[in-house]
Amino acid sequence: MHKKHLKQQFIDIAIPVSFLVMACLLWEAIVRVFHVPVYILPPPSVILLEAKLQSLTLLKHTGVTMFEAIIGFMIASSGAFILATFFAHWRVLEKGLYPYAIALKTTPIVALAPLLVLWFGTDMRSKIVAAALICFFPILVNVTRGLKAVDKEALDLFNSLAASKWQVFRLLRFPNSIPFLFSALNSLALRTV
């Protein structure tokens, strides 16, 4: 059974890799046969050579991009969780702000990019804000749903035991929101792949 599983895993990896190799060979051949200029469509061999020559620069910039994405994600996660907690406890605040959050969620980041550059410049700040905006709204929507989607009977039990709002949040609402949070994180991961 174990050998069969390993063989299937090998096949699952080998097929896409084979198609990638064939596509790169075809690409290389088309560029060479039709004498396509490198500045229009560089062949894979040129791209790989340039990547090797510029590997330190690429690695440095990859690190900067990772840093910007992680900081933006952390800001978005903490801010969205705090705002979702307010939404779950104060219905007036949710009614007042939630429609705007949904409207901003549907606005493509490409439409906001010029404003971010004007407001924050072209340095790291604008990229962190862009990453935070991308992550903020899916987390806000899902965590709000999770905090509010508690079982009514469990909530009645907590109320009958005279649990404080903090106890209801800590022992009931927060644990209930975790699957919703991970669902949002999963959708973000799938969007970036």
119/184 same-domain check: yes
142/115 same-domain check: yes
Question: Would you say the pTM of this structure is higher than 0.75?
Answer: no
Give the tens place of pLDDT for each residue, 164-179.
888 888 888 888 888 8
CATH number reported for the structural domain that contains residue 144 in this entry: 1.10.3720.10
47/59 same-domain check: no
Work out how many domains the chain is built from and give that number: 2
Final residue before a domain boundary, out of 10, 37, 52: 52
Final residue before a domain boundary, out of 52, 70, 85: 52
91/168 same-domain check: yes
For residue 175, the surrounding DSSP H or E stretch is helix 174-192
| CA 110 – CA 151 distance, rounded (Å) | 39
Confidence at residue 45, expressed as pLDDT on a 0 to 100 scale? 94
45/74 same-domain check: no
125/143 same-domain check: yes
Q: Which residues contact 79 (CB under 8 A, 6 or more apart)?
A: 132, 136
* DSSP secondary structure letter of residue 122: S
37/70 same-domain check: no
43/62 same-domain check: no
82/23 same-domain check: no
* 96, two tokens: 């007042």
* DSSP secondary structure letter of residue 108: -
Task: Find tokens 């899902």 and name the residue.
Answer: 142
The stretches of 54-123 forming alpha helices (DSSP H) are 55-89, 91-106, 109-120
Confidence at residue 1, expressed as pLDDT on a 0 to 100 scale? 58
Q: In the Cβ-directed half-sphere of 120, how many Cα atoms lie within 13 Å?
A: 13
Domain ranges, residue 170: 54-192
Q: Which residues contact 140 (CB under 8 A, 6 or more apart)?
A: 80, 83, 84, 101, 105
Confidence at residue 62, expressed as pLDDT on a 0 to 100 scale? 92
Cα dist from 102 to 32, 63, 82, 96, 180, whole Å: 50, 32, 17, 12, 17
- Residues of the chain short of pLDDT 70, as ranges, are 1, 189-193
| CA 188 – CA 175 distance, rounded (Å) | 21
185/120 same-domain check: yes
33/80 same-domain check: no
75/23 same-domain check: no
User: CB of 42 within 8 A of CB of 30?
Assistant: no
Final residue before a domain boundary, out of 52, 68, 90: 52
